[in-house]
Structure 1
Amino acid sequence: MNRATGGAISRAAHIAQSIGDVLSTRIGTRVMRREYGSLLPDLVDHPANDATRIRAYAATALALMTWEPRIMVQRIQLQGATLQGKAVIDIECILVDTNEPLNLSVPLQLGGSL
């Protein structure tokens, strides 16, 4: 189900929606499920260098391995973040139950907005 409209969506769209939620949720902020989320929002104010990019990949992989059991991640590519905290993450993965490849491009809102 699409969380914005309540309408039906495809399986791939639901997985992308779930990934966006997991990655943009700061750990410790979800009531009754404090461990849910990722470390990605904590990296928003870090310098845009190679070390931060590696931390972002690690935070993404760890969160998806923990919270999205429907996929097995094979490749993560972070597309440039803007000053408003918007970024796009491209994920190549395999659906666990069917072994089919799936490529997703997930928009993230990690910081404030203007």
Structure 2
Amino acid sequence: MATSTEHLIDIDRYTGELIQGWERIKQSIFVILTTRLRTRLMRLWWGSKFNEMQDKPGNEEVLMSSMMAAISAINTYEPEFKVTRVVIEDMGPDGEITITVEGIDLVDEALRRLKTTI
């Protein structure tokens, strides 16, 4: 849990500029959800099982497993954000998953929402 009154600073993965606050948190959530476990050489424990749900049937069991994998990974690896709700909007025939993540920015104490396609 974040105890500081300032946001962490990171590097934008596309521009190389410094980012912090909600922009850094959004990038972090996307990276957490798109990184498969045991794929980072120096951090084999880092990532999520969320991507393992792609290309599986869109039944209730897979949807629940996907949401639980997302919640668990984000709450574990993002210290400035606490998930309150995850909704899988769409599981497309091409394997893309549209997900909405809602939660509390622990530094600003603000409710935030991120909708992204993975």
Q: TM-score, normalised by structure 2?
A: 0.82
- CA contact under 8 A between 1:16 and 1:106: conserved in structure 2? no
Gap runs ≥5 in structure 1: 109-114
Determine the C-alpha separation between the residues in 2 that align with 1:107 and 1:25.
Answer: 14
1:107 aligns with 2:117: yes
Q: How many residues get paired?
A: 108
Q: Tell me by how many angstroms 1:75 deviates.
A: 0.7
Amino acid at match of 1:51: E
Percentage of matched positions with identical amino acids: 30
Question: Among residues 97, 101, 106, which one is paired with 2:107 in the alignment?
Answer: 97
Which of 11, 21, 46 is equivalent to 2:21?
Answer: 11
Match of 1:27 in 2: 37
Aligned position for 1:111: none
Superposed displacement of residue 43, structure 1: 1.4
SS at match of 1:80: strand
Q: Secondary structure at the match of 2:24?
A: helix
Residue of structure 2 equivalent to 1:58: 68
Moved more, 81-90 or 93-102: 81-90
**CA positional deviation for 1:41:** 1.4
Aligned with 2:91: secondary structure?
Answer: coil
Q: Who is 1:75 aligned against?
A: 85
TM-score by length of 1: 0.85
More strand by share: 2
The answer on 1:47 being equivalent to 2:57 is yes
* Cα 1:85/1:46, change in 2 over 3 Å: closer
Listed as ranges, the gaps of 5+ residues in structure 2 are 1-10
2:55–2:95 CA contact under 8 A, matched in 1: no
Runs of 4+ aligned residues of structure 1 deviating over 3 Å after TM superposition are: 7-10
Tell me the C-alpha RMSD between the 2 structures.
1.5
Shift of 1:105: 1.3
